[in-house]
Amino acid sequence: MDSFAVKIEGLTKVYKDFWKRKSVPALTNLNLEIKQGEIFGLLGPNGSGKTTTVKLLLGFLYPTSGRSWLLGKPSGHVQTKNKIGFLPEESYLYTFLNAEEILDFYGKLFNLSRKERKERIDKLIHLVGLNPYRKRLLSKYSKGMLRRIGIAQAIINDPDLIILDEPTSGLDPLGRREIKELIREFNQQGKTVLLCSHLLADVQSICSRIAILDKGVLQVAGNVKELLCQNEVMEFLVKNLSDSDLELVKKFIEEKNGEVLSMHPHRSTLEELFVNIIQQHN
Amino acid sequence: MILTLATHTLREAIRKKIPHILIGSGAIILAISPLISSANEPDALPKIMLILFFQLVTVLCITGIIIYSAISLPYDIEKKTIFSVLSKPVSPFKFVVGKTLGFSLLAAFILAVLGFVNIVFVFCASSHRLSEQKGLFKARKEFNAQHFHIQGKVHHEKEWIRWIMGGGEGIAVWNFPNLHEKTKKTLPFEVELRLKLDSSRDIADTIPLAIGIEGIHSEENKTEVFSAKADEILTVSINPEIIKTHNSIKITASPVLDTDYIGATQNSVKVFSLQKGFVFNYAKAIAITFLKFLLIIAVAVMGSAYLSAPVSILLAFTVFLCGHLLDFVKDFSLLLHHSGAHEHAFPGMIKKPNVFMIYMEYFSKKPLEWVSFILPDFKRFDSLSYLLKGINIPLETIGFSVQYTVIYVLICTLISCILLKKRELF
């Protein structure tokens, strides 16, 4: 079990109504394994059971049936949380503190020494780009800034497993790119990342494996490349070919009983365009 | 970690200006107290200040603390800030204890500041006539009689009160052994007599009483006559040399006139050694008041671990009121069973209970007595009466209050932890 950062067996959660009658099934018989050192994406539309899964893993909710383990220990085990970082779906932070104070508070909860706390706070505040605003109260932060400080608090303990629930929500494209790069960096350091999101492009670009939930039921789970790969359809990206050469390629494919589905100039994404413009401007 | 959570809770309260509001309101009440004091009595103003502090300002602060401690945890759950704490290695036990400790620090801070302000006001208000107010600024050690008997004839006995008639028919005697041994110092002593007085005379404002204070084995029967008023305590000084010489003393009392009666019990007479240390006594009173805060905080946190903010506020206030209501019920039954009245009492002393009061007692007393086993009894935390009577608060009283509070807080905290652990955070 230790080779798995997260292991879920038959996890089911049915919410009860006021009279304690079981009414809404939020998660049904979920089985999942996340290996150590991978970036795993948990996808699904709103209300699909992503956040419920995370809350069950962290012990905030109790399962109706089934079991789960984090880093080899049952969910909710207090000492295991020393190695876990968690970013909730929204940055639920104490807004009467400033950035330094809130990171210091969370650092103390991990029993970090004063020196360690100071070093990590400086490093993290720089990392999430909030150095000019470190003394400003969180109540005066924008949503994006709160998200950044939320990410900083999630990694203040240098965790082995990082659970990020919608980490890029509320961030501008530049911020989203920075967070994605940060997640890749975590992966290079050997950390496991569980990423819950409904922003498919984000997940596709950084996750090695994914699972898709819908109405609390696991629809599919597996390697991103394998899941997206359509073996009967091939995609070529070519450069420096004239129109006549392209016609020749097209003819060659048709001679070999192939079918050209589309042929058009390559377009960059809007995100790439936005980032390029902002970076050039700065 | 518990201390981290406690200081965080305290900092949250300070940032939200909770102590500012409570200390400000308390200081305003104390500042306007000279406007409502009576100028007739020499120690009226310091007394009013003490009463206002212990009965109004502390109740105001308790109200503030109840509301704040009852809404803090539900607010954390509602705003989901609890997720970012409980996702760290923090157990529900540490979270609850940290919160409770934080509220207690807040209460201690507010009490310390307001207590200091109050004592400064009290001393400022009384500095120009301190000599007149010695009574209030005493911190006397109390000694109870070890033996009580009637020499001569008991006129009659009713509800443990022995009545004697004047004119030399009977003398009430109280023995106080080893007083000098117990104090180890040559201190001034005084005796307080709380006797039931009665007379068959038509108009009798005062009753002449013959009081004797002498060594327990002394054969002298030296007495002095004092005028005693009904419903007033008679205080008589004791020559310290009597106590130093005899160590044990006996106190005798009898009405001079055969038309007068006194009713006495073992506790009707008490001896006090006069010690300095009003400030220390006042600090002890504040400490006992703090225990009251601690207890109600534990109750408020316990409610908030499972209930919504308004319901947990309601629960804490209900417990707080019932804790004082038990006291009222006891007084209520005393009204019904008025034991002090004698056949020859002054007109108006005999009060017959009406039917409504009897029914009220019948229906309310028993259920409330049962409830009193569960609910805290705030009468145990009454420190004001000691200050007003100028009695040194015994360490045993503080020890008992501490034990009572600790047991109650431990039980409440345990229940809070179980409730929070079982609670699902959606």
Judged by CB atoms closer than 8 Å, whether chains meet at B87 and A84 is answered as yes
Nearest CB to B89 within list A97, A105, A109 = A109
Residue B204 is predicted with a pLDDT of 64
Residue whose tokens read 């509301």: B67
**Does pLDDT of B128 surpass 70?**
no
Nearest residue to B186 via CA among B251, B272, B249, B273: B273
All residues of chain B having their beta carbon less than 8 Å from the beta carbon of residue A108 are: 1, 4
All residues of chain A having their beta carbon less than 8 Å from the beta carbon of residue B8 are: 94, 105
Q: Rounded to the nearest 5 degrees, what angle is found at the Cα of A40, between the Cα atoms of A37 and A44?
A: 170
Nearest Cα of chain A lies from the Cα of B3 at a distance, in angstroms, of 10
Nearest residue to A160 via CA among A181, A189, A122: A189
All residues of chain B having their beta carbon less than 8 Å from the beta carbon of residue A158 are: none
Q: Answer yes or no: are the C-beta atoms of A204 and A223 closer than 8 Å.
A: no
Structure tokens at B393: 């608060």
Tell me which chain A residue has its CA closest to the CA of residue B6: A105
The pLDDT > 70 percentage for chain A reads: 96
What's B88's DSSP letter? S
Q: What angle do the packed helices B92-126 and B395-422 form, to 10 degrees?
A: 150
**Does pLDDT of B358 surpass 80?**
no
**Does pLDDT of A134 surpass 60?**
yes
Residue B194 is predicted with a pLDDT of 86
Tell me which chain B residue has its CA closest to the CA of residue A137: B15
Q: What angle do the packed helices A114-127 and A143-154 form, to 10 degrees?
A: 140
Nearest residue to A11 via CA among A72, A71, A75: A75
E strand or H helix at A83: none
Nearest Cα of chain A lies from the Cα of B83 at a distance, in angstroms, of 7
Nearest residue to B279 via CA among B118, B125, B398, B395: B118
User: Which of A56, A79, A92, A95 to substitute to test the interface with B, most B CBs within 10 Å?
Assistant: A92
**What would the pLDDT profile of A30-50 be if each residue is shown by its tens digit?**
999 999 889 999 888 888 888
**What would the pLDDT profile of A137-186 be if each residue is shown by its tens digit?**
999 988 888 888 999 999 999 899 999 988 887 788 888 888 888 888 88
**What would the pLDDT profile of A204-252 be if each residue is shown by its tens digit?**
888 888 888 888 888 888 888 777 777 778 878 888 888 888 889 889 9
Residue B340 is predicted with a pLDDT of 47
Q: Answer yes or no: are the C-beta atoms of A194 and A34 closer than 8 Å.
A: yes
Residue B352 is predicted with a pLDDT of 58
Assembly ipTM: 0.82
**What would the pLDDT profile of B162-181 be if each residue is shown by its tens digit?**
888 888 788 888 888 877 66
Nearest Cα of chain B lies from the Cα of A231 at a distance, in angstroms, of 43
In what order do the strands lie in the sheet containing B196-199? Answer: B156-158, B161-165, B260-264, B196-199
Nearest CB to B84 within list A61, A82, A93 = A93
All residues of chain B having their beta carbon less than 8 Å from the beta carbon of residue A78 are: 89-91
What's A207's DSSP letter? -
Residue A8 is predicted with a pLDDT of 92
Residue A117 is predicted with a pLDDT of 92
CA atoms within 13 A on the CB side of A89: 16
All residues of chain A having their beta carbon less than 8 Å from the beta carbon of residue B88 are: 81, 106, 109-110, 157
Judged by CB atoms closer than 8 Å, whether chains meet at A60 and B89 is answered as no
Measured CA to CA, the distance from residue A68 to residue A33 in angstroms comes to 10
Average pLDDT score, chain B: 81
Give the pairing type, strands A192-197 and A161-165.
Answer: parallel
User: B109 Cβ partners below 8 Å, 6+ apart?
Assistant: B10, B19
pLDDT band at B40 (very low <50, low <70, confident <90, very high): low
Average pLDDT score, chain A: 86
B73-92 residues touching A, CB cutoff 8 A? 79-91
User: A72 Cβ partners below 8 Å, 6+ apart?
Assistant: A1, A2, A4
**What would the pLDDT profile of A174-212 be if each residue is shown by its tens digit?**
888 888 888 888 888 889 999 988 778 788 888 888 888
Residue whose tokens read 């209520």: B332
What predicted TM-score, i.e. pTM, was given to this entire model?
0.78
User: B346 or A77: whose pLDDT is higher?
Assistant: A77
pLDDT band at B346 (very low <50, low <70, confident <90, very high): very low
**Does pLDDT of B7 surpass 90?**
yes
Structure tokens at A16: 């009860």
All residues of chain B having their beta carbon less than 8 Å from the beta carbon of residue A55 are: 425-426
User: Which of A60, A87, A138, A157 to substitute to test the interface with B, most B CBs within 10 Å?
Assistant: A60
Judged by CB atoms closer than 8 Å, whether chains meet at B424 and A60 is answered as yes
Q: Rounded to the nearest 5 degrees, what angle is found at the Cα of B403, between the Cα atoms of B399 and B405?
A: 115
Measured CA to CA, the distance from residue A282 to residue A276 in angstroms comes to 10
Quick check: B2 contacting A, CB < 8 Å? no
Q: Rounded to the nearest 5 degrees, what angle is found at the Cα of B382, between the Cα atoms of B378 and B383?
A: 150
Nearest CB to B79 within list A79, A82, A92 = A92
